[in-house]
Structure 1
Amino acid sequence: MTLVAILSGAGISTDSGIPDYRGPGGLWRRDPEAEKLVTYDYYMADPDIRRRAWQMRRDSPTWRARPNAAHRAVAELEKRPGFAVRVITQNVDGLHQVAGMPDRKVLELHGTSRSVVCTGCHLRSSMEDALARVEAGEEDPSCLACGGILKSATVMFGQRLDPQVLSEAMAIAKASEIFVAVGTSLQVQPAASLAGIAAEHGARLSIVNADPTPYDELADELIREPIGTALPKLLAALRGPSGG
């Protein structure tokens, strides 16, 4: 059984219509103020920031997005005998699961935009229900259980990653025989360090990304082609006649 770890970043979802953050057309470049909407301290302190954040969530392209060929290729590899596939994703869009990856085999480092969490009592509920309340006229819906401030179940700027999720991700990186970093700049720590950890523990490291990354010199394979064609081709080669 070959353990294949996929570390995915925003670039894997751009073909699904979800813009990345730091690329030429990325959200932060187009609207630097948008970063405040996902910064914990600003969000908690300013009701106006929260109202704008709820509008951003309501209008998010995530709700129209469908998995693309790259997401589907990962899910297809997971179904093949001889491969254990684990996805470690920096994305919050849930498209790996929509494509068919079992939820338990996807580690969401930065949480998920498909749920909301109360900052007071920590109760989780569905984003769909919260957005229905926004549509009905609540500009800043509060927790129905305790009245606390609700936020998406994502890791905002200024928040720590879940230590258990990060610990699991590191264990997978260390144990992986093949590690593919796809659509990530490998600049945001600690997620980026997973590529280095995998390489140090003997994994074959492939980096599929349009731009150079700080970990390129550790890679066995650098692919600059479009992700929607490059990743399916790479993963198909793993399943080839040699059996991996």
Structure 2
Amino acid sequence: MKKRLVVLTGAGISAESGIATFRDSNGLWEGHDVMEVASPQGWRKNPELVLDFYNQRRKNAHEVRPNAGHLALVELEQDFNVRIITQNVDDLHERAGSSIVMHLHGKLFESRSTLDERLIYPMKGWELNIGDKCERGSQLRPNIVWFGEAVPMMEKAMEEALKADVFLVVGTSLVVYPAASLVDFVPDEAPIIVVDPNLPYMRPRPNLHLFEEKATTGMEKVKQLLREKYL
């Protein structure tokens, strides 16, 4: 039976494919204060701005490709039961070929009703505009978990962390909560591996492996470590 490798990924793995991260520029995201384009208040104040912002994110995501970091996680499915929990809203893990991907913060290529959050629709193109409505006649919004909103997938993510035989963190600074708290649910006997050019603080524990590298290069070392030590 394959060991369960639970992976938490963040903006760093997508950045190497060319997807911008707002934390690179003092909280500005493509020139916008994040609260203007990624909060319920911003949506109420200027829905046109919010829709245009995410239209541009989708257009950008259409133009980029999965990188070696994404592909390494797919390759690890040969030896491990890989479960990806991602803070990213893009679909690069799926496009790379990963089998099980849980999106904590929503999905860029989905819209949802502003009247009933259970009404979710896949998007084929990149544009969502004022006047695009759900079946109940309300405006559609991006199916993204904005700042100040609950994270509906968090409970399932905690359950995955509790079941991990190995827990891998790739491309995240572990400062965005509640996602960052997932490392606290990992069993004490399970190894934790962290890959990021700016390593977050991790409390000392047995079998803690830190790689101060980008996802693309660091994942090559992780593959080697996993196969030599944890298969």
Normalised to the residue count of structure 2, the TM-score between the two structures is 0.88
Does the CA contact (< 8 Å) of 1:216 and 1:222 recur in 2?
A: no
Q: Which residue of 2 aligns with 1:127?
A: 123
Q: Which residue of 2 aligns with 1:55?
A: 52
Q: Which residue of 2 aligns with 1:166?
A: 154
Letter in 2 for 1:87: I
SS in 2 for 1:91: coil
Deviations 1:189-242 (A, max 9, x none): 1111111221x43210111112131325447111112221111321243234x6
Q: How does 1:1-244 map to 2 (within 5 A)?
A: 1-23=2-24, 25=25, 28=28, 31-43=31-43, 45-46=44-45, 49-60=46-57, 61-78=60-77, 80-81=78-79, 83-102=80-99, 105-122=100-117, 123-129=119-125, 131=127, 139-162=129-152, 165-198=153-186, 200-215=187-202, 217-218=204-205, 220-240=208-228, 244=231
Name stretches of at least 5 consecutive residues in structure 2 with no aligned partner: none
Shift of 1:125: 1.5
Letter in 2 for 1:191: A
Does the CA contact (< 8 Å) of 1:19 and 1:26 recur in 2?
A: no
1:189 & 1:77 partners in 2: Cα distance? 27
Letter in 1 for 2:9: S
Q: 1:243 to 1:194 in 2, by over 3 A?
A: closer
Letter in 1 for 2:96: A
Shift of 1:5: 0.8
2:37 & 2:214 partners in 1: Cα distance? 30
Shift of 1:243: 6.9
Does the CA contact (< 8 Å) of 1:177 and 1:204 recur in 2?
A: yes
Normalised to the residue count of structure 1, the TM-score between the two structures is 0.84
Letter in 1 for 2:202: Y
Q: 1:185 to 1:75 in 2, by over 3 A?
A: same
1:7 & 1:70 partners in 2: Cα distance? 13
SS in 1 for 2:6: strand
Name stretches of at least 5 consecutive residues in structure 1 with no aligned partner: none
Letter in 2 for 1:41: Q
User: Larger helix proportion, structure 1 or 2?
Assistant: 1
Q: 1:42 to 1:53 in 2, by over 3 A?
A: closer
Runs (4+) off by over 3 Å: 216-219
Q: 1:94 to 1:129 in 2, by over 3 A?
A: closer
Deviations 1:58-114 (A, max 9, x none): 222212121000000001111x14x11100110000111110012xx2111111011
Letter in 2 for 1:99: A
Q: 1:130 to 1:229 in 2, by over 3 A?
A: closer
Does the CA contact (< 8 Å) of 1:195 and 1:215 recur in 2?
A: no
Letter in 1 for 2:147: F
